[in-house]
Structure 1
Amino acid sequence: MRALCWNGKNDIRCETVPDPSIEDRRDVILRVTACAICGSDLHLMDGQMPTMERGDVLGHEFMGEVVEVGSPDHVLKKGDRVVVPFNINCGECRMCRMGNWASCLRSNPNGEMAAKQFGYPTAGLFGYSHLTGGFAGGQAEYVRVPMADVGPMKVPDGMSDEQALFLSDILPTGWQAAAYCELKGGETVAIWGAGPVGLFAIKSAAVMGAEIIIAIETVAERQSLARLAGATHVIDPSTEDVMERIKDITRNEGPDAVIDCVGMESDGHHGVLGAISTIQEKLTSTQRPFALQQMIQAVRNSGIVSVPGVYGGPVPVNMGAVVQKGLTIRSGQTHVKRWLDELTGYIERGTIDPTFLITHRSSDLAQGPDLYKTFRDKQDGCVKVVFHL
């Protein structure tokens, strides 16, 4: 089969690889009908995540049709159309029983490797390094889904692939980011980054009743989509002083909550925070903490800092500001399964249209390497790439 494979920094190739096969009675094999390139995939492309190996199949946003099952009594059957959460859930460990699906203790066969870096095992993820299990991803014609009796959700009749696809990751991720802000209605929220996750965080905050939603974004196309998603204000940090604009909008009080939808890809090289970011990049060449530092400065006293953005290692954090301002920081990989029923309902009722941010479509994985570059470089107005296979 054909698949998009990592072959080193900035080297993504469409290659022919062996078809996946059943390895356990809980497995299923999917024929992938739709998949997408995620902003998190760019961290892999840019060499910012450790333990990638040449030939690793990429992709953690995918859905498809079940073509093979691991046992006759499997909950899924041949022909079922399913969308698959990007994290793999055993359904049996304490974390899964608590609904902390992204913290599953048993789904990562390389859990000991993760524990050395993070303290405890983390969940297995599709197509996202050997630190998270080394599982082949779904930017491919077929994919093996382990523990498929827990995570995958059958797609409701009448729901298109494009409506369902983002339930695999970015829609629940944006929703969880807003949910972590504990919105009850009438709040002010500032969101750094209006890429796909940022746009869904904006939409989610609007659905949850935030009154003022501030998007911080430099790219014109994303600024327009941010307004479409529900942003009441857009700040362009390339032409405006973010802190001064936020103080002006919030009457010098600051947002009730801030959301980091940029993560380690943030960029900013002015003022004290820019100097800190530059030093950190020279030290690690990976983590870029500028956006996170700016958020901690910008949020009001006793506010919430929600961090769905991906970080792969240590970053300097102004703990003085965190402590003196009494901030709450909430983060983590998304507990996708926790939100699926609620978000499916919003899609079916038309409250959320997940397709509004799709800018590029392809039916040919061979175009994948070029589309990766288009997405990374924000060329041709690219915000989201979807493959229909």
Structure 2
Amino acid sequence: MEAVVFDGKTLSLKYEKKYPLPKLINDTDVIVKVAYSGVCGTDLHIIQGEFPASKERPLPLGHEFSGEVYEAGKASIFKKGQKVVVDPNRACGLCGFCRGANYQYCLTAGINSTIGIWQDGGWAQYVRAPQDQVFALPDGITLEQAGLCEPYSCVSHGFDRAAPLSVGQKILIVGAGIIGNLWVTTLHHHGHRDVTVSEMNKSRLEIVKRLETGFRLVTPDVLASEKIQYDVIIDCTGVGKVMEISFNYLTPGGKYVLFGCCPPTHQASVNPFQIYDKELTLIGVKINPFSFPKAIGWLSAMGNRYLDYHKLGVKTYALSEYRNALDDLKVGNIAKAVFKIN
């Protein structure tokens, strides 16, 4: 089968036409025929050697994907042809974190066993997944829309971590890549209107305009000159220095949501007196524990108004076009690249 394969030892990608097809191992396994598979910012960090991933053998990356059931084990609840999405993360089910419903902290599962990072992922025509990580899609959600389910599940977890987010609060989104855009759609869908989006790449600000939310769009230099303070800041950049700067824009009692995944090497300095004096809250958000059902509900409710690929700045590519996809992301002409797989 076709696949884009990552070699963790050489930090290199390769398009292969004859990567081995996955096979059922357990009676409850499911083989998914992939339709759409996204390129995440975490994938870019992995390729650059800034984020841990498997080095045991070359494997396809891709932890955001939708598709149809191609084959199911004899004890599986799924049937051939069902439209599905796959949660790439799971609980070990045994440790205290997992039994406390916090598998994002698990030291053996969670992000440490992710499909597409530690196991063969969705940058391929077919993927094997345990059935407890597979979710059937309701009618009304297309496979194209479902390709965004995994990142929306992470946003859903972040939304819950930051709650309550009251309509009328002054909110700043820092970074208008795809995650920033998903937060834009989420906040607008939930009734928020006093939202500012900051992005240094003006091409990306033009993409945000397509979503027609009426949110205020500015560049970082404007933020620095205005000295406006915000009730909530959602950092979608994954850059430590950005946090160091934008943390100063919080109003007393404010919340800083560190959503973008920074490489482990990044550092940021904050003033502890500010945290004390303003009673500030810093919120980290890690993966998507048990939030796939909520994300599927969001997809159903948001529909074409918010999930249109063009409006979000999403462009599709064949697996063989992976170099073009990565180049377009680096330049910033698009917010997200998604592989459309035949």
**Shared fold (TM-score, shorter chain, > 0.5):** yes
TM-score where L is the length of structure 2: 0.86
Are the aligned partners of 2:176 and 2:335 in contact in 1 as well (CA < 8 Å)? no
For residues 160 and 245 of structure 2, what CA distance do their matches in structure 1 show?
A: 21
Mapped pair 1:325 → 2:278? yes
RMSD over aligned CA atoms reads 2.6
The one-letter code of the counterpart of 1:59 is G
Q: List per-residue Cα deviations over 1:27-49 (Å, max 9, x = no partner).
A: 22211121111222111222211
Identity %: 26
For residues 27 and 106 of structure 1, what CA distance do their matches in structure 2 show?
A: 20
Question: For residues 186-225 of structure 1, what are the structure 2 equivalents within 5 Å?
Answer: 186-225=168-207
Are the aligned partners of 2:31 and 2:127 in contact in 1 as well (CA < 8 Å)? yes
Give the match for residue 176 of structure 1. Answer: 157
Are the aligned partners of 1:235 and 1:245 in contact in 2 as well (CA < 8 Å)? no
Aligned length: 331
The one-letter code of the counterpart of 1:154 is A
The counterpart of 1:374, out of the listed 321, 324, 328, is: 328
For residues 235 and 295 of structure 2, what CA distance do their matches in structure 1 show?
A: 21
Give the match for residue 313 of structure 1. Answer: 264
Name stretches of at least 5 consecutive residues in structure 1 with no aligned partner: 109-121, 129-133, 248-253, 267-288
Are the aligned partners of 1:88 and 1:126 in contact in 2 as well (CA < 8 Å)? no
TM-score where L is the length of structure 1: 0.76
Change (3 A) 1:174 1:335: closer
Structure with more of its chain in strand, by fraction: 2
Name stretches of at least 5 consecutive residues in structure 2 with no aligned partner: none
Are the aligned partners of 2:161 and 2:285 in contact in 1 as well (CA < 8 Å)? no
Change (3 A) 1:92 1:158: farther
Change (3 A) 1:335 1:97: farther
SS in 2 for 1:180: helix
The counterpart of 1:244, out of the listed 212, 225, 228, is: 225
Question: For residues 128-207 of structure 1, what are the structure 2 equivalents within 5 Å?
Answer: 128=117, 134-146=118-130, 148-149=131-132, 151-168=133-150, 170-182=151-163, 183-207=165-189
Measure how far apart 1:92 and its partner are: 6.4
Question: Which 4+ runs in 1 deviate beyond 6 A?
Answer: none
Q: Which piece of structure 1 moves more, 22-31 or 83-92?
A: 83-92
The counterpart of 1:304, out of the listed 255, 263, 281, is: 255
Measure how far apart 1:187 and its partner are: 0.5
The one-letter code of the counterpart of 1:382 is I
Measure how far apart 1:83 and its partner are: 0.5
Mapped pair 1:23 → 2:5? no
Measure how far apart 1:94 and its partner are: 4.9
